[in-house]
Amino acid sequence: MKKILVLSLILFPFTRVSSQVASQNITTPLIQAFSKGAISSYGASTLVNKVENIGYLNPSALNSFDNLSVGFSYQFESKIDEAYIAHIGYSRMAEELPESFGIVYSYENFRIGFGFGQAYNGKLDVGPISFTTPENPDGIGQTFEPVFETTIQSYSLITSYSVENIFQSNDEISLGFRINRNVLHAREQLDQFFLDEKVFGFSFAVGANYYSNLPGGNKLGVGLFYESPMEFSKYSTYKDLAINRPDTTLGEPYVINYLPVYLSGRIPAKLMFDIDFGVNDELRILGSISSVFWNDSGNGYLNQINFSSSAAYSLFENIALSAGLFSSTRKYNTELTRYFNVEESESAVYLTAGVNVKYSGFDLDLSLADSHMFSGDWRKQTIVKIGLGYSL
């Protein structure tokens, strides 16, 4: 009984009642499940990255791929046993599916690409809950395990165009646009209450970058892009809603024909600024700062500034190493989350490391991100990402 009450309490920020009869179920509650897809051997830059990640990047960064290029990646994340109040855990699903895929075709100063990425992937690990009765408030010896699973997959069409020699010799400005077709898949089960629903939506991103040569032979690049929110909403119903509770005081099975629900999900909009400084032919320093517009979600969140920084060094012509960090956090303006120290527990700083190996047109990209050292208790995890690309 206590666990049911606690479960109701922790899901309260994620479930609201609308003016309709249907309850509103927010399907994207866990910050741990939001994509960290820009991770590569360059760190978390959205200006300098790999072809397999183009669906997450500043769309103007497409101009950095000079030939027909294709790539894909897989991402593996450690499970978090306690990712929210009352020991609710987080785990990633369907790791046999690629994290991302990208292909780019170039013609003179024009680029066109197609990308795929997992924008959200998360399962709430609630654990078993006991059936109870008024006579047995602590349980009757039988349990069920709730299921709350959500993925958002994004399919992207991207274009960019670059112009050279604008303000000085060999400088370049690039403009890019991306449109995303997004698919939210929500699967939930409470005993025999079952829902399996897909919701579709569109979003877009627009960006620009500029590269110039500095005195002394250094090269400096800056990029700015805006990505609109991914928003989903749909009326649905739970299916197969016959619940047979043992030892019911009514003496008869309690049967509900249907339960209406209003599904909603949202990935907030963001504005990101990137910098790429080429110290010399071997070393480049990358950094970014982003504003994530959580406040528009209307769920007690506040807008948040995140950052990333990394250094990439070419050991040999075909081997490069990198090290860096990036932050991922969210703030609230509700008393309930302050009481449970949610902000501190959800804050995260990931340390990153990567290695890239090129051979005969192939590009093997290995990256690692770990948040155990400087993060809250609900964000401590290790992420491993493996990418493979090929360029003609």
Q: What is the predicted pLDDT for the residue at 157? A: 98
pLDDT at 99: 96
Q: What is the 3-state secondary structure (H, E, C) of 233-274?
A: EEEEEEECCEECCCCCCCCCCEECCCEEEEEEEEECCEEEEE
Q: What is the CA radius of gyration of the chain?
A: 23
Domains and CATH numbers, the chain: 2-391 (2.40.160.40)
Burial class (CB in 10 A: 0-12, 13-18, 19+), 238: buried
SS3 call for 107: strand
Question: Which residues, including other chains, have CB under 8 Å from residue 8's CB and lie 6 or more apart?
Answer: none
Condensed to tens digits (0 to 9), the pLDDT of residues 192-216 reads 778 889 999 999 999 999 999 888 7
Residue ranges of the chain whose pLDDT lies below 50:
1-6, 8-21, 243-251, 253, 255
Residue type, 241: L
Q: Which pLDDT score is estimated for 25?
A: 67
What is the pLDDT, as a whole number, of residue 380? Answer: 95
* Coil, helix or strand at residue 290: strand
- Quick one: tokens of 286? 């990358």
Tokens of 61: 């960064």
Q: Which two tokens stand for residue 218?
A: 């250094």
Q: What residue type is 278 in one-letter code?
A: G
Read out DSSP for 166-221?
SSSTT-EEEEEEEEEEEEEEEEEEETTEEEEEEEEEEEEEEEEEEEEEPTTS-EEE
pLDDT, residue 20, reads 41
* pLDDT for the residue 143: 82
